[in-house]
Copies of this chain bind each other. A is one copy, B any other.
Amino acid sequence: MRVMGVDPGLTRCGLSLVEGGTGRSVVALDVDVVRTPADLELAERLLRIADAAEYWMDTHKPAVVAIERVFAQHNVRTAMGTAQAGGVVALAAARRGIGVSFHTPSQVKAAVTGNGSADKAQVTTMVTRILGLQTKPTPADAADALALAICHCWRAPMLERMAYAEAAAAEQRKRYEARLRQVRKARKEAGTR
């Protein structure tokens, strides 16, 4: 499965491409960081990020795009920009019929380091080791984009199983409730007779 990882951001937006094999085997195919100057208008910055992401999607044809889910950060203004950058990338994927999956920063950290509150250095170290890279990917946004794609490769089978289990449970609950209604109805009828 070819996964495009995206660490969204207006100033720096990390993009990565990872091929997930059987088990835990993952291979890095590409990584880059798109930068937009802070003095540019917001719409123009979003356009540059969207253009870069679309070029990646059209060139690399990923099966799925994994994007970091943004939460409120210390700086609300930054969080909004980050959310918007992630939004335009998600839009580009949707236009191409490519599935989009969101992962929280702690899910990503937990997946690659085993610790949901690992620091940036730990994430970079583990990404370098997992992918068997010669040098550490820099800046941190590049490492984060790779971590996101790895996280998706490893979480996807689990998420699929969970979705399957949830659907099965919902189906079972529906059948149980139907049986319950039937029994209640039969009892009521027996009572009135």
Which of B72, B79, B91 contacts A88, CB < 8 Å? B91
User: Interface residues of A toward B: which range?
Assistant: 20 to 34
Q: List 12 A-B contacts (CB under 8 A).
A: A42-B100, A43-B90, A44-B94, A47-B91, A70-B80, A80-B80, A83-B84, A83-B87, A84-B84, A84-B87, A84-B90, A91-B91
- Contact flags A138-163 to B (C-beta < 8 A → 1, else 0): 00000000000000000000000000
With a cutoff of 8 Å between Cβ atoms, the chain B residues found around residue A79 in the complex are 80
A127 within 8 A of B: no
Chain A contact residues: helix, strand, loop or mixed: helix
A52 to B61, CA, bound (A): 26
With a cutoff of 8 Å between Cβ atoms, the chain B residues found around residue A26 in the complex are none
A76 to B70, CA, bound (A): 10
A95 within 8 A of B: yes
Q: In the complex, what residue of chain B is closest to A49 when comparing beta carbons?
A: B91
A119 within 8 A of B: no
Which of A50-77 touch B at CB < 8 Å? 50, 70-72, 76
**Shortest distance between the CB of A27 and any CB in chain B (Å):** 26
